Structures are given as structure tokens and as C-alpha cells.
């Protein structure tokens, strides 16, 4: 089973960027933890982080060759109809990850263009949310196929 882990803008700054919100764990730390979980689950992972909206859309399109996608679209969750259209177009199950709970934050973060086109969402668990999401997506893929 192959899963692409795609991260949107500013997630390359995890560990430095607003640690009171996003924690101290870096993106490399998240990827290392996910690699361990993937080994337990017999899942092969690929990783990518993209600051540009078009780059993230292209990455989603390319990842359609995988069995599933973990996607932290970051700010593009709240702004990108193009990303929503890409998720709809590929037909690959996508699980959304949010480090914080957008509903508990600014009003503009309550808009989620992806919520109704992903197979599931993990919100507000910080860095450990990625591992939770990978386990949930893997379970979904194994039971839905």
C-alpha cells in the first residue's frame, strides 16, 4: 500500500512557527514518526511540502497513483477551490490533517473547502494527528477496497 503525505504552505517552518499553536515538532520529526508507523502498518510513504498552491495541486494530481493521500493543506484548506477540484478529480481517497482545530480559531478558518470531499479528517491533535490519520486512512483503505 502506498500513501502520499502532502503538506501545504508554511509547514516547513514547524517547530519555529508559532510553537504555542503548532508545537515544537518539526516536519522532519513528523515524517520520522510517520515512517515508523508506516513500517508497522506495511505502508510505503512518500513525502512532499509545497508552499505554492499550484505546486500542491500538481502534487495531489501526481499522487493519484497512490492508494491514498494524507493532506495537510494548511491555509489552502480555507481558500483553494483549485485544491478542492483536484481532490475531486483524482478519485484517490484523501484524509485531511489539521494540527489545530480550525473551528476553535479565527472565523475565516471555519471555511473548509475540503471537508466534504475527503474521506476523513483529523483535527486538533498536533503532530501526533498525522499518525492517527495514517492509521485511520490505512484502515479505511483496507476495508473499502
Report the pLDDT value the prediction gives residue 109, as an integer from 0 to 100.
65
Question: What average pLDDT does range 117-131 have in this prediction?
Answer: 93
Who's near 98: CB < 8 A, 6+ residues apart? 72, 77, 121, 122, 123, 124, 129
Q: What is the mean pLDDT of residues 86-92?
A: 97
pLDDT 10s digits, 10-65: 999 888 776 676 667 899 999 999 999 999 999 999 999 999 999 999 999 999 99
Least confident of 2-11, 34-43, 92-101: 92-101
- Catalytic residues, which ones? 22, 98
Higher pLDDT, 38 or 101: 38
Q: What is the pLDDT of residue 19?
A: 67
The pLDDT of residue 104? 63
Model pTM score: 0.91
Q: Which tens digits make up the pLDDT trace of 52-63?
A: 999 999 999 999
d(Cα 129, Cα 119) in Å, to the nearest integer?
15
CATH architecture assigned to 2-144: 3-Layer(aba) Sandwich (3.40)
Domain residues of the chain, as ranges?
Answer: 2-144
Amino acid at each position: 500500500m502506498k500513501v502520499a503525505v502532502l503538506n501545504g504552505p508554511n509547514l516547513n517552518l514547524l517547530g519555529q512557527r508559532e510553537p504555542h499553536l503548532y508545537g515544537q515538532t518539526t516536519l522532519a520529526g513528523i515524517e520520522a514518526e510517520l515512517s515508523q508507523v508506516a513500517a508497522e502498518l506495511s505502508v510505503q510513504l512518500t513525502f512532499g511540502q509545497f508552499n505554492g498552491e499550484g505546486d500542491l495541486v500538481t502534487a495531489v494530481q501526481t499522487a493519484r497513483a497512490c492508494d491514498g493521500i494524507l493532506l495537510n493543506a494548511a491555509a489552502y484548506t480555507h481558500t483553494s477551490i483549485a485544491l478542492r477540484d483536484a481532490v475531486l478529480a483524482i478519485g484517490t481517497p484523501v484524509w485531511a490533517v489539521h494540527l489545530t482545530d480550525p473551528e476553535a480559531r479565527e472565523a475565516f478558518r471555519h471555511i473548509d473547502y475540503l471537508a466534504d470531499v475527503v474521506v476523513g479528517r483529523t483535527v486538533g491533535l498536533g503532530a501526533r494527528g498525522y499518525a492517527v490519520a495514517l492509521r485511520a486512512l490505512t484502515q479505511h483503505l483496507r476495508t473499502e477496497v
